[in-house]
Structure 1
Amino acid sequence: MQCDYFSAGRCRSCTLMEVPYARQLADKQANARAALAEVAADVRWAEPFASSESGYRNKAKWAVGGTAVNPTIGILGRDFQGIDLRRCGICEPGLLAAFPLLADAIAAMGLAPYDVARRSGELKYLIVTVSPEDELMVRFVVRSTRQLPAIRDGLPGLRQALPGLAVVSVNLHPEHKAVLEGADEIVLSDRATLPMRINDLTLHLPPRSFFQTNTAVAAGLYRQAAGWADEISPGSVLDLYCGVGGFALHCAPASARSVRGIEVSADAAAGARDSALALPDPARFTFEAADAGGQPEVDADLVIVNPPRRGIGAALAEKLEHGSAGHLIYSSCNVTSLAADLARMPSLRPRQARLFDMFPQTAHQEVAVLLERR
């Protein structure tokens, strides 16, 4: 993949940009196998699930810089000045088409970008997600409600410029610290969730919810997990760190009389419940807003975990080790924490594994493992 921003040294986020994609994929597979060699010596590895080399990201988290008249959307340099990346080649076409119009809308609304050095201004970030149907979710991350009237007044013009605009919200992030968003979200649109059609399911994404940033590879990951679940034919499924229900809703064969999801984000759990309502038998699905790692009971025929990079940790691993689950599907974005967690659960033997390349041009990787109780 050729990237003018990378070649010019303006953005080096894609650290493997100069490495041929086939080599990237082979190196990631070798790294994953090596990381799990001691804890998964007998595992059967499938071929890696490859991604498009470019145009794969469905979500952009841009820092806003420049001025209210001439804003930049992209990243901040070492001097905290904005570097505009609106033609970033790893973003989906629907995002690339929207970026210039969103920059124009920021200028038209008179939204003052946040100046990190001076701690002045209002608009910190612009977070944009595109669905497979080219609908958009746009979130303005601001310091206060001061410019909320300007955003409301600018919505008719924004909708006219972006006919696919489905969800618009404002996130309040008053603190001066290196986190992307705050705790309070104000939805300005009639619709509060973005429908994401994945395989044969529609997942509903609220603004403050996690979803894999590579839609095509996420679909492959869910299909793989669903295939494993079909082979297992569990009577009950427990999905920990379930997000908006992607794994739970896919891994629910007819044999699963109960499917329970646990997710710390109340918004995401609500989105999962909305998604389940469209299925023929929604009553068997339960989604709760709670700490997945703090569950007192983790017993089910099949348990699924998709934790943050830190992994599930010793406490939850011990519960699973001494629990009754016959099978575990572990999806991980960090093979180091994955290896540590698998070592804590020797009674659950890794049987199959597959690498899913969610983030081409970077060293990041997603690995899914199917484990069976000895």
Structure 2
Amino acid sequence: MRKFFYLLLSTALIAILVTYALWTADRPAGHYLSDLRINLAVDQGMPAERGNLLGIQPELFPTDYQSPERLHRKLAAYLQSARDLGFLNDKTVVVLPEHIGTWLMFSGEKDELYQAGTMKEAMNWLAVSNPLAFIQALVRAQGDNRLDDAYLRMKAPRMAHDYQGLFGGLAEEFGITLVAGSIVLPEPSVSDGQLKVGAGALYNSSLVFGRDGRPIGQPQRQRHPVFEQRDVLGADRPDATQVVETPAGRLGVLIGSDSWYPVHYRQLNDQGAQLIAVPAFILGRDAWDRPWSGYKGLSTPEEVSLKPGEVSEGQAWHRLTLTSQLPISQARGGVSVFLRGQFWDSASAGQSFISHDGQHFSDGEARGARLLNLWL
């Protein structure tokens, strides 16, 4: 009787495991509708032979990331609209927002994940749907927040592959130089023209793709992750500033809050940067209008007199992002681009703007997809 009971229990357990394995392998694509429209927010300057700096503020949702093909469709529609307006040429530099690549961690998942009500629930579905990858990542996780580290690390090789294929493909398809926002990866680097991941700390990094679809230089890693991310993300060296050659001029990238530090603009000046791209991301639907909370646990630069609560978050970005403000920045122009959209119960904020001749230009509308163009 006991043997029969053990046999029955083993059979039931095997049946459960097989059913679970089949369930995790089943990834049907659900119905997909997405708004492909984008509005022109800023068109500053006059067309010239020096090219242009074009910011694309997308509006994205979890279902846009169900596959790289879906995200390509939406971003390609934005770029086609820019082409129709005459904004794409051989010397165009397009800038996308911070973390536009990070959300690729949700690509290829089950419908239950995209239908989740909260970010926490979506993360649970991510782990349950990829048990082996999640356990392996949890074993390799680093830092104080091992759970979030594991979520970001578990699909890193696939994320790097999709990131290069998607954004490098868009750069080649439209014949542009593309600042591909940013993506969180472990120890990212470019080797033999391919974006690779390592086994070390996670970095929020940005990569520039040329008109041939290939990476230009190495990933620019963020040096000052905001306070709530510091228990997950590593910080690159303070002097790790690089400038890449583009058809429109020498380009520097400052990710998010890195754009708040005058020392970074001086470093870019020393390397002859003529253009500055700022991929940015702010979490919280109304965060742009709330009181600025300061440098969030990081030291305030001596040159900065702004105090927490003195201005709103949006006003602080305009004050602290010093692109094209002499003598601190000698760049001809810059663009700060924010990711807009709703990811489960987490909404994003931010109002993208162009910087030129010491002034900032935006259309006063935060929501929706936006194009911001600066003729150089």
What's the TM-score once normalised by structure 1's chain length? 0.35
What's the TM-score once normalised by structure 2's chain length? 0.35
